[in-house]
């Protein structure tokens, strides 16, 4: 029997991806960040349910796809900015074609949305909100500080929000709040790294609008605030979620690495120091989330 012919949509996708490398696609969608989001959601599932069920798996895949959608959409929207200030990115470097990037945006967005609706209407509605916030971020960052102040921390807290809707555990909202403070500080690190290009391009971030010094203060202040806030749930809420392992592993891993990142940036705002601060904070977060998952076992 003859193999079934490809549909026009599949032929278009294959054609669009012909001039895109696998490594370029992985960089476009920030594959490692997608894995971090999935790992966070799975850690919450293990923490609250003690196991991973089929619904958890579908939502984890949906979150991964929505994360890929967000990063790819932002790169498509920022292609002219990246061409001038970040020529190493997949689109300006030619590692991914524009048609390939647009195809990835459409595929990941629609697939992530469809999977979330399969689990339940509430998750589909939350996914629609994530897609709308992602699109708003790319448009609004040229006119207002709203994206850097609120949208980025909110979007990056999606695994905890999904977990709250799924498990109805109030602890998820506490963790989402702590994550928002952490991610606000990390966003300031990234904005300090990009301040020259953001200022010239007219993008609205704290460093580009109010200056590098205030941006540095906002970054260091958020990490210091996080260090103060992290232990509070252990003493005020306690229980299985905020028990001894949370206090012994998550609090120091996230809090101390956050402060280490802040001190690195305060010591020197060179590209190397800011990059190292971002790396330190990222792996501190990974270790802290792993501690939460271990507590659920």
List pLDDT tens digits, range 239-282. Answer: 778 888 899 999 999 999 999 999 999 998 898 999 999 999 99
Assess whether pLDDT exceeds 50 at residue 231.
yes
Q: What is the pLDDT of residues 160-198, one digit of tens each?
A: 888 888 888 888 899 999 999 999 999 999 999 999 999
**Stretch 10-38: mean pLDDT:** 79
Residue-level pLDDT at 13: 55
Assess whether pLDDT exceeds 90 at residue 295.
no
Residue 169 zone, left/alpha/beta (φ > 0; ψ -120 to 50; rest)? beta
| Greatest mean pLDDT among 162-166, 221-225, 291-295 | 221-225
Question: Which of residues 296 and 176 earns the better pLDDT score?
Answer: 176
Q: 248 is written with which tokens?
A: 């012994």
**In whole angstroms, how large is the CA radius of gyration of the chain?**
20
Q: 22 is written with which tokens?
A: 């696998």
Cβ count near 230 (within 10 Å) = 24
Domains of the chain: 9-168 (1.10.357.140), 170-297 (1.20.120)
Write the CA distances from 188 to 51, 65, 184, 198, 254, integer angstroms: 35, 25, 6, 12, 17
Lowest mean pLDDT among 118-122, 128-132, 141-145, 206-210: 141-145
CB distance 23 to 16 below 8 Å: no
Write the CA distances from 142 to 88, 91, 136, 198, 225, integer angstroms: 22, 20, 11, 9, 28
Q: 68 is written with which tokens?
A: 């890929």
Write the CA distances from 247 to 91, 133, 243, 285, integer angstroms: 43, 33, 6, 14
User: Rounded to whole angstroms, how far apart are CA atoms 289 and 45?
Assistant: 12
Residue-level pLDDT at 12: 52
User: Rounded to whole angstroms, how far apart are CA atoms 48 and 218?
Assistant: 33
**Backbone phi and psi for residue 29, each to the nearest 5 degrees, phi listed first:** -90, 5
User: Rounded to whole angstroms, how far apart are CA atoms 69 and 114?
Assistant: 13
Write the CA distances from 22 to 16, 28, 212, integer angstroms: 13, 10, 37
Question: Which of residues 54 and 66 earns the better pLDDT score?
Answer: 66
User: Is residue 1 very low, low, confident or very high in pLDDT (cuts 50, 70, 90)?
Assistant: very low
Residue-level pLDDT at 27: 93
**Backbone phi and psi for residue 154, each to the nearest 5 degrees, phi listed first:** -65, -45
Mean pLDDT of the chain: 88
Q: What is the pLDDT of residues 142-151, one digit of tens each?
A: 888 887 887 7
Taking Cα atoms as reference points, which of 28, 74, 104, 70 lies closest to residue 203? Answer: 74
Residue-level pLDDT at 297: 65
Residue-level pLDDT at 10: 57
Q: 187 is written with which tokens?
A: 């966003």
């Amino acid at each position: 029997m003859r193999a079934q012919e490809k549909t026009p949509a599949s032929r278009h996708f294959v054609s669009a991806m012909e001039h895109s490398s696998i490594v370029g696609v992985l960089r476009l969608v920030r594959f490692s960040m997608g894995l971090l989001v999935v790992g966070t959601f799975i850690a919450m599932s293990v923490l609250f349910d003690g196991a991973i069920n089929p619904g958890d798996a579908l939502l984890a895949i949906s979150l991964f796809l929505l994360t890929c959608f967000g990063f790819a959409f932002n790169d498509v929207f920022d292609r002219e900015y990246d061409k001038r200030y970040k020529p190493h990115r997949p689109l300006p470097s030619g590692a991914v074609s524009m048609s390939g990037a647009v195809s990835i945006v459409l595929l990941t967005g629609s697939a992530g949305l469809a999977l979330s609706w399969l689990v339940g209407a509430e998750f589909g509605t939350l996914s629609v909100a994530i897609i709308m916030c992602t699109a708003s971020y790319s448009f609004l960052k040229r006119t207002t500080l709203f994206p850097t102040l609120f949208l980025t921390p909110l979007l990056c807290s999606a695994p905890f929000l999904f977990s709250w809707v799924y498990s109805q555990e109030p602890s998820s909202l506490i963790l989402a709040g702590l994550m928002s403070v952490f991610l606000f500080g990390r966003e300031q690190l990234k904005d300090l790294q990009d301040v020259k290009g953001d200022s010239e391009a007219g993008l609205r971030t704290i460093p580009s609008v109010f200056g590098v010094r205030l941006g540095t203060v906002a970054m260091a202040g958020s990490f210091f605030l996080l260090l103060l806030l992290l232990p509070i749930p252990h003493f005020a809420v306690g229980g299985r979620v905020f028990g001894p392992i949370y206090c012994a592993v998550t609090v120091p891993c996230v809090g101390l690495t956050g402060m280490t990142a802040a001190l690195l940036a305060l010591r020197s705002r060179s590209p190397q120091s800011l990059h190292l601060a971002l790396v330190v904070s990222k792996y501190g977060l990974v270790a802290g989330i792993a501690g939460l998952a271990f507590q659920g076992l």
